[in-house]
Amino acid sequence: MKDFDARHLVQTVVELGGNFLRFQPVGYLAYYPSKVLPVHEELGKRDLIVEVAQECRRAGIHQYCYVGYGVALMLTRDYIKKYPM
């Protein structure tokens, strides 16, 4: 998390000739300030969606953010009790 560099990510897309970046800001934890999903403890005040979006705009790259919510590993009984919808 601490080493994530949105500029480097987007520059790699540009170097590969891409014009679109599909970005998943949630693994087992959210990489943005979420009120619904548990947030990665190293996030601090960062918002990786915003960081990537700003770099994509600067480089003229389209961005699509998605959340693969509902993965069986995330929906354990303890998770649902801790984060009710």
Dump the DSSP string for 33-55: --SSSPBPTT-TT--HHHHHHHH
Indicate if the pLDDT at residue 77 is higher than 80: no
Check if the beta carbon of residue 19 is closer than 8 Å to that of residue 62. Answer: yes
**pLDDT tens-place string over residues 2-45:** 789 999 999 999 999 999 999 888 777 778 888 877 888 888 88
For residue 85, what pLDDT is reported?
Answer: 61
